[in-house]
Amino acid sequence: MSSLVESAMALMITDECINCDVCEPECPNQAIYLGSEIYEIDPSKCTECVGHFDEPQCVQVCPVACIPVNPQHVEAQESLWAKYRRLQAQTPSQAPMAPQTQVSDA
């Protein structure tokens, strides 16, 4: 069990994918995209939802359980956190803008 804590992997979508479209909007890192035949996961953006959720959201919503870990992209938990921080630094601020007040000349 400790190896799961120390080592993590980016996820992948297998050819069992039915293109149901539920996983793509769940990804907080926009790592999921429609490939030539099925949805795919960009391993450079997949953090397994580290920094956002306790569990990968795509895995939670997939109706056919076709999103296992990708053995080609083994990463330590700290590496996933570093990727999360890097991706957040590249994302424009999501802070809401203060409402503008209208000043009248009356």
What is the rounded CA–CA span in Å between residue 65 and residue 89?
Answer: 31
Q: How does pLDDT run across 70-98, given as a tens digit for each residue?
A: 999 888 889 999 999 999 998 665 444 44
Q: How does pLDDT run across 22-60, given as a tens digit for each residue?
A: 999 999 999 999 999 999 999 999 999 999 999 999 999
The pTM of the full predicted model, rounded to 2 decimals, is: 0.75
Nearest C-alpha neighbor of 31 from the set 11, 45, 49: 45
CA neighbours closer than 13 Å in the CB half-sphere of residue 9:
13
Question: Can you read off the two tokens belonging to residue 25?
Answer: 């909007």
Classify the C-alpha dihedral 88-93-95-96 as positive or negative. negative
| Domain at 2-90: CATH architecture | 2-Layer Sandwich (3.30)
Domain ranges of the chain: 2-90
